[in-house]
Structures are given as structure tokens and as C-alpha cells.
Chains A and B, each alone.
Chain A
Amino acid sequence: MGRYVIRRLLQMIPVFIGATLLIFLMVNVMGDPIAGLCGDRQCDPATAAQLEKEFGLDKPVWQQYLTYMGNVFTGDFGTAFNGQPVTELMATAFPVTIRLTLVAIFFEIVIGITLGVVTGLRRGRPVDTSVLLLTLVVISVPTFVTGLLLQLLLGVEWGWIKPSVSTDATFGELIVPGLVLASVSLAYVTRLTRTSIAENKRSDYVRTAVAKGLPHRRVVTRHLLRNSLIPVVTFIGTDIGALMGGAIVTERIFNIHGVGYQLYQGILRQNTQTVVGFVTVLVLVFLVANLLVDLLYAVLDPRIRYA
């Protein structure tokens, strides 16, 4: 088990370097890193040259990358367009997005798994068919459309929620945005749970459990669910990273000042440091979530633990 963890950790290092380098290159090569530094005006040549020197932009890209990563590991993510350190932006943005992600994960677990179990156990019945159709529709409608529609209906037409979220972004305000963020994954969790349950329901060991004379409830909870939820739990784990990175659209619709909002601002204003900084952290979160999921997998499935 220990060696397994170490091997996973080692595998993540090149992925981390590669992903951050890729983003770094995209931002630096494609854009003009100092364009955003002089506010909305074009920088005059003298200032531009000075800024280039100051940020080390006259050096080769790989050297810039190394310098940047060196700074990151000492906790220096650079400064945002408004002169604020990027770390300060992160300190305000990440808690909001983490809350949003938590709400989304909560919906995935509660609604997704419940629907999946119900439909998996009643395959082919009307409940199953309608839920299945509904998940397809949810998957097909892009998140930004779902978001706009819910905002229109709940926020504007019926007035159940405020159409945009305040800067506090409390859990209460994040319920609908969380649902929107979760929607596609939620539909997928439903389908995954359903398939898993339906497949395992026909398995030999469930038949054994029935032949042992166990009550139906015990067959389902102890034998069927325990096995069927392994892939679902691991999916939800890996989804954490994807949700945080995918929150841009949701945050834009509901005007939530989280990671997606800051990233969007950073990109609009072409502020390299903000963009690369946030993306670096997101990639890190994604990798850590993946690692945790692999460990969780081993905990849940003894066949992997002892392999």
C-alpha cells in the first residue's frame, strides 16, 4: 500500500509540471503578458521595456517558467491587475468556490445516488424510463442554458431566489447555482449508479445472498450497494477537481465572485500571473483529488488493496 501511494505520487509530478507548463506557454506565447499591466491603456515603449525586465520577460520562456514555479513554491503567486497579490485574490475566491463545489457534490450524492438506486432496482419500469430520459435531457442541455433558464424561472419569474449571489455567497444563496453546476455530473452519477446497480443485481454473489435467506433490505444494503457504489464514489471524487475548474460558467451566470470570476477577469485583462496562479492551484486540486480517489478505491475494494 505504501509503495502504491509513492508510485502514484511520483506519477503525478510530470503531470503537474506538464499541465502548468502548458498553461504557462499558452498564456505567455499566445498573449501579451504586459498588455494588461498599464490599466486599459496601451503601455508606452519605455514602460513596457522596464516592465519586461522587471518581470523577467526578456529571458527565455523555460527560464521564466522556472522562476515562476520557484516563486510559487515559496508562496509568491505574483500580483493581479489591480496591484493586489494573487494570493489575496485566492483567499477571497477559493472559499466561495469551495462552498459552491460542496453544494454541488452534496446534490450529486443525495439526488444522483438516490435516483440511480431507485432506477437500477426498477429497471424497465416507468420510473426508470422517465428518469433515464430526464438525465439525457439534462446532459444534452449545456450548463449555461440550464443556468440561464433556472435564473429566469426561479429568480425572475417566480422570485424564489435572488438572480445574483451577493459577495458573501452563503450556502443558502448557493443552492441553485450549486444545482446548476452539479446538473450534468448529477445526471451522470444517476446513470452510473443505475448501470452499476442493475449489473450487480444480476451478479452471482447477490443470488448467493438471496439463497442464504437474507432479508431483501440486507441483500440490497450490505451486498448490492456496497459493491455498486465503488465506481460512483470514485467518480464523485475525481469530479471535485472538474467542478472547481468548470465553475466559470456558473459563476458568470449568477455573478458569484469565486475562482471562475477571478479567472475570467484575469483572462479579460490579460493578467498572466492571476491566470497561471489560479490554474496552477486548480491543477493541484485536481491531482490531489485523483490521488485521494485512488486511495479510496483501494480502501473500498480489497481486490485492489491486496493486488
Chain B
Amino acid sequence: MLLEVRDLQVEFRTRDGIAKAVNGVSYAVDAGETLAVLGESGSGKSVTAQAVMGILDIPPGRITGGEILFQGRDLLKLKEDERRKVRGAEMAMIFQDALSSLNPVLSVGDQLGEMFVVHRGMSRKDARTKAVELMDHVRIPAARERVKDYPHQFSGGMRQRIMIAMALALEPALIIADEPTTALDVTVQAQVMDLLAELQREYHMGLILITHDLGVVADVADRIAVMYAGRIVESAPVHDIYKAPAHPYTRGLLDSIPRLDQKGQELYAIKGLPPNLMNIPPGCAFNPRCPMAQDVCRTDVPPLYEVSGERRSACHFWRECLHD
């Protein structure tokens, strides 16, 4: 396995109390594989990714338990300086909003080249050449001229390509993409997603794709992990989930996608609100919103039941859900 997260727990200390953002998340990604992590905002999907990258704000964040095994090493046991050398070089991250994620006062060439200067000790001139190559590679037109431009001078799609180029610069083994296309126009979204998928195949990288867009997932992901209130509630190969979800929350997500063949019907929405992380309901965190909830759901936290070989569901009634 390239990356294995085991029983990760993260909490944030705030003025009003302790927010448990991640409560025992485990997932794994292999080289060349794409794992999609799905969930509403506040489900802990981004916090998990930040913990893996080691860019969590500490404090107020705190990792209270678990392991993050990357190429066999536990990242949480590394010294900060060793950890830093992993970031960018061996695993890289693509953020949602490229405009605010790129430094407004440095040229894109400087920001791309910086990777080579810092990690590879290249001269600024060589780094500049590398930057142009990278921009070419992610198909930015007239890369040689545009390398001196500043982020605000690019279009949204081009900026996201620069983010991708920056992540790919040192050919890392793992890429984490945090909602890479959410901020883009629909037409550009597909182009950027295709580019990312293509480059992933080319470099045989592991990819963790964090999203709440089920449409994107079906195209590119191999496996899906659905998160709710800081836990994984279902994980499965992508086709299984679309065929028949084994958790009522996943079912709710799927049902809320508008479909052409149901035109005219009222759109489905999961009732209620995501739980307050300071005060997660006892038992199954989803129980107040669950149409199938029974008494046991309000008292016992469901373990991850093994549904089939690669499939897990954290629902006491996964069988009923699957056959419903």
C-alpha cells in the first residue's frame, strides 16, 4: 500500500469546547489508484487530508490518535524537518480555489520554480526552465511568455492547471486533490478533471479526490469512501455503490442527484442538518436524520460491518439498506 490511514482522530479546541472533526478514519490508497472521499462540508474529509499532508493548524487542531503510514513509514512519528521533505516532493496537494491558493505577488514561474530550488537545489535559471516545461505539460498556451505573469492574470481553468503543475513538479507518489474543480465553470471542470486523470495514469500516482460531486466521482474514481461526522460510513468499489448503497446516508446522497428520467418529481433532500461536531449524537451519528433509524441506532455506535470482500458499511441495518 502507498498510503494507509489507520484510526485517525483529530480534534479542534475552540472557545465553545472541543470539536471532534475526525473520529477514527481508516482508508488506503495504492499507486495508480483513485480514492474518492465524499461528504458534506464539516464531515472531516478535508481535515483528514490536511492531517495526511501535515498542514493541519496546530493549535487549534490536534491529532489525538491513529497512524498515517506512507510507503511504510508512520508520518506522525517523523520529525518536522523530515516531514517537510515528504511534502511537495513525495506527496502533493491541489486546493480548491487556485486564485487564493497562489501567492498574488509572485510570478507563477517563481512559484513553480521554487519547488526545484528548495527540494532539488537547482539554480533559479534552471528552475525557470523547468517551470516552463511544466506549464507546457499541463497545456498552458505560450508557456514561455506567460511564466512571468502573476496568478490574477490567468483564467480560472489556467490557474487550476498551474496548481496541478505545481503539485506534479517533483513527480510525487501521491496527490491529494481537495475539490479541485468546485470553483470552476462546468465546461472547464471536465477539462481539468480529464487532465488530472491523464497525468495520474502517466505518472502512476495514487490520487485522493475529495469532493461532494458524485458526477465527477463516477468517471474517475476506483473506490469511494463516504464520510459523515468525522467517520467513514461506507467504503466500496465505485460500481457497487452506484448499484446499491449499503448505508442510508449514501442512499440519500445518491437520491439527491437530479435525474432526467425523474423530471417533474420533487427533488430529494436529506432532512435535517449535519451534526454539531462539539456535540455528536450518541450511537450512530446519522440517526436523527435517518429514515431507517431504530432504537439500537441511538445507543450503539455501528462498527464498520464487512458487506463483501472490499466493501464496508457502518450501518446496523446494511442488509436492509442494500436490499431495499
Contacts and interface: CB of A to CB of B under 8 A. Distances in A.
A/B: CB atoms within 8 Å of each other: yes
Interface of A: 202-205, 207-215, 218, 222-223, 226-227, 230, 300-303, 306
Contacts of B283: none
B118 A214 contact: yes
Most buried by A among B55, B87, B97, B119: B55
A227 B103 contact: yes
Interface residues of B, number: 28
B260 interface: no
Contact of A227 (B53, B84, B105, B114): B105
B124 to A, nearest CB: 13
Interface stretch (B88-96, B135-143, B310-318): B88-96
A41 B85 CA distance: 82
A303 B152 contact: yes
Given A203-B100, A302-B150, A212 B105 contact: no
Contacts of B119: 213
Given A204-B95, A302-B152, A212 B101 contact: no
Contact of A211 (B87, B104, B114, B118): B87
A212 B88 CA distance: 4
Given A211-B53, A226-B106, 20 more contacts: A207-B95, A207-B101, A208-B102, A208-B103, A210-B55, A210-B87, A211-B87, A211-B92, A212-B114, A212-B118, A213-B84, A213-B88, A213-B118, A214-B88, A214-B118, A215-B118, A226-B103, A301-B105, A303-B104, A306-B153
21 contacts: A203-B100, A207-B55, A207-B95, A208-B95, A208-B103, A211-B92, A211-B95, A212-B114, A212-B118, A213-B87, A213-B88, A213-B89, A215-B84, A215-B118, A223-B103, A230-B105, A301-B104, A302-B105, A302-B150, A303-B150, A306-B153
B72 to A, nearest CB: 19
B63 interface: no
A210 B88 CA distance: 9
A80 B95 CA distance: 67
B115 interface: yes
B134 interface: no
A208 B104 CA distance: 12
Contacts of A207: 55, 95, 101
Contacts of B118: 212-215, 218
A205 B55 CA distance: 12
Contacts of B166: 208, 212
B53 A205 contact: no
Dominant SS among interface residues on chain A: helix
Contacts, number: 76
For the complex of A and B, the 6 pairs showing the least CB-CB separation, nearest first, are: A213-B88, A213-B87, A204-B100, A204-B101, A212-B88, A302-B150
A230 B105 CA distance: 10
Contacts of B28: none
A207 B101 CA distance: 8
Interface in B169-206: none
B149 to A, nearest CB: 9
Nearest to A214: B118
A144 to B, nearest CB: 40
Contacts of B85: 213
B33 to A, nearest CB: 21
B299 to A, nearest CB: 40
Interface string B97-123: 100111111100000001100110000
B86 interface: yes
Interface string B206-230: 0000000000000000000000000
A213 B88 CA distance: 5
B99 to A, nearest CB: 9
A226 B105 contact: yes
B104 A205 contact: yes
A209 B163 CA distance: 12
A6 to B, nearest CB: 24
